[in-house]
Amino acid sequence: MSNVCAICGKKKFVGGSITRRGLAKKKGGIGMHVVKNNKRIFTPNIQEINIKTEKGSRKMKVCTACIRSNKIQKS
60 within some domain: yes
For the chain, what is the domain count?
A: 1
Please tell me the distance from the alpha carbon of residue 14 to that of residue 42, in angstroms, as a whole number: 6
Q: What is the pLDDT of residues 33-70, one digit of tens each?
A: 999 999 999 999 999 999 998 999 999 999 999 999 99
CA 37 to chain centre: 20
**Dihedral in degrees, nearest 10, Cα atoms 28, 18, 44, 70:** 30
pTM exceeding 0.75: no
Q: Indicate the pLDDT class of residue 1, thresholds 50, 70 and 90.
A: low
In a domain, 59, yes or no: yes
Tell me: pLDDT of 22 over 80. yes
Domain hosting residue 33, numbered range: 13-68
pLDDT at 25: 96
Residue at 55 is within a domain? yes
